[in-house]
Amino acid sequence: MPTIKQSNFRLEPTKSFVDSSFFIDLTKIKLDQMKLDTSEREIFGIYDYTSAKLGSRPSISLNGISFQSISDVCESLPQNTCFITQGHLKNLNTLDEFKKIDKKTFLRNRALDIYSAIERKDVLWDPSILSQFSVISFADLKKYKFFYWFAFPLLHASFKTEKIHITKEDTRRYKKAICNLEIRQQVYIFEEGKEGIKIIPFSNLTKYINDCKKVTLLFIDTSKISNCASYVLGNLISALSVYGFSDVDIIIHHVGLSSDLESLIHFSIDNTYCVTDHVTGWERMADGRLGPKLANLGSLIDPVQLADQSVDLNLKLMRWRIAPKLDLDVIRNSRCLLLGSGTLGSYVARALLAWGVRKITFVDNGKVSFSNPVRQPLYTFEDCLDGGHNKAETAAECLKKIFPKVEAEGYTLDVPMAGHPIKNESAEKRDFEKLERLFDEHDTVFILMDSRETRWLPTVMGNAKGKIVIDAALGFDSYLVMRHGSIRLDVPLEQQQEGRLGCYFCNDVYAPSDSLSDRTLDQMCTVTRPGVAMMAASLAVELFVSILQHKDKQFAPHSIKGEETVLGCLPHQMRGFLHNFEILKLEAKNFKYCSACSTRVIEKYNEDGWEFVKNVLSDTHYLEDLVGLTEFHEEAEKVALALDLDDSDDSIL
């Protein structure tokens, strides 16, 4: 600290107060903007010089607005109550970096920044430069611990002080001038005029510098301690030393104190002393030792909010180093409808959560049985009791327990199935209308049922409504994961028959029929190697995410080159075989006579809705007649008969 003759006058260091909102905003900025960048970032601190209590040290506050622009900060704070000072934040990526940074060099460089501004005379127009600060920090975003250390650079001038007694008349004149002052900055000049004392901006110091006149200054102090002043006064004295002043009178004004004019100090400055020879300014801890502070917000932040931010953390870390162009928002904002809440549905839901999806809806008509929990991770033994809980609702409740911020819902309903006659039209129509509404409310549909005919109506709806449709099906040691080709809703149907990717039914020459009646026990259960469902579910979700990263989304062509999206290739189908651990990436164009995605089916669905579905359910031949499969079979039989005749002729010869 400077050498001061008068023992009861001293410079007070600043103490910092950092609100939790500052760290919350730092977390967001670190994840979304700064990432691994450790360059210094501009922030703002607030010195409130009106509300501090008597005897309090100067203190700077940082909160959520500290990261905003200076104009926004000024608008959000009441005038004539505080000073806004610029600072810089250097956030390190590891605790080791935070510990090893050269503190001495860092502080000296920040002090030299202030010294350069003094030399350029920038401080005359902006005295807040004298109170500039810096913060080094490390944010442990997994545990929500924030290590930080404030530096308030102080240039040390050589000076002596003497307290000056002022008359009651001068006191009255000074007080009158100060009472009429609208405080905008921390330093002003007192000037004698014909009408008495007036206060002028600090920028007018230039004429005093040029004429080497003695000057009287007004320093609005941010401390509330008599016979003391903020450390900023030390930087002001250093600036005056650089400008060649050797004798200066300064009134140290403590706003709100009755004795606010008792501190009129005369400073005798040694201009031969280099103010950059000695620099101090690191903030001390409460016990007086030099060291950083720790803010542990893990126990203070709402656990739900903490979980919300932590869920995105791993995804954003992935984007920092591996895939900087990865669009996480389009994934987060996707609304996913899962048709089937069994083994596939459970694993698909968990993978969607891991990718940050916030809206997941289940549809199922079953109840949790005792065989389910070991293969379906959203259920427990308790869910099997009392006849079994409804699968869809239980799955949604489980997701909320895993992550409370997810918007999860479950609906128990039967999906009308082709080949299954209507038994209760009002109930089946009600389920149809509910399913149709769910399709309208979601962007992506995962078809995860365990029978062929249950997939028909969702396939039709997905195409008719322009949704992303992901289909997954299991065998004993094999699986199919595919994305359905999509019809563009803004292009006439007749122009879209050829060329688009096919759906689940495009390889079939027969319409779906009843495959569920009269099944044996092994046919009623999903008999498959336990790992197959996990593999298929994860691939289904990864395929969905890759679709969202493509510029054409669900209209993207089949591709296996690996350059089509930020995550790599985008195949149409993946067929996996566990017996030899092989995955085939295949493409199949749509079938002209497809019973689910042909234009004739889509047109009829759009025209008649439930009536069309009812006809399909009531008449097993209706669908094949509609799309032309009946005629297709007849032509095929004629060709086969002709071939048989040719073969018989050959045998005769």
Q: Show which residues are catalytic.
A: 525
CA distance 519 to 128: 83
CB 222 within 8 A of CB 187: no
- Please name the residues in contact with 442: beta carbons below 8 A apart, sequence gap of 6 or more: 335, 336, 337, 359, 361, 467
CA distance 368 to 390: 6
- 336 strand-pairing partners: 360, 444
Return the closest-CA partner of residue 343 out of 527, 546, 577, 579: 527
- Six token digits for residue 354: 């891991």
Tell me 589's DSSP state. Answer: B
- Please name the residues in contact with 132: beta carbons below 8 A apart, sequence gap of 6 or more: 85, 86, 87, 88, 110, 113, 114, 153
CB 569 within 8 A of CB 542: no
- Six token digits for residue 377: 């991770």
Strands (E) in 321-438, as ranges, are 335-339, 359-364, 407-412
| Side chain identity at residue 387, one-letter code | G
Concatenated DSSP letters of 227-273:
TEEETHHHHHHHHHHHTT--EEEEEEEETT-TTTTS-EEEEEEETTS
Strands 478-483 and 573-577: antiparallel
- Six token digits for residue 49: 């010089």
CB atoms within 10 A of CB 559: 18
- Please name the residues in contact with 490: beta carbons below 8 A apart, sequence gap of 6 or more: none
Return the closest-CA partner of residue 9 out of 246, 258, 267, 217: 267
CA distance 625 to 616: 10
Angle between helices 610-618 and 599-608 (to 10 degrees): 120
Return the closest-CA partner of residue 66 out of 118, 17, 127: 17
CA distance 482 to 484: 6
CA distance 605 to 627: 12
CB atoms within 10 A of CB 106: 18
CB 382 within 8 A of CB 419: no
In angstroms, how far is CA 19 from the centroid of its own chain?
A: 21
CB atoms within 10 A of CB 423: 8
Return the closest-CA partner of residue 151 out of 208, 104, 82: 104
CB 312 within 8 A of CB 356: yes
- Six token digits for residue 129: 């430069």
Return the closest-CA partner of residue 348 out of 502, 596, 523, 545: 545
Number of H-type helices and E-type strands within the chain: 20, 24
Per residue, the 3-state secondary structure of 486-523, as one string, reads CCCCCCCHHHCCCCCECCCCCCCCCCCCCCCCCCCHHH
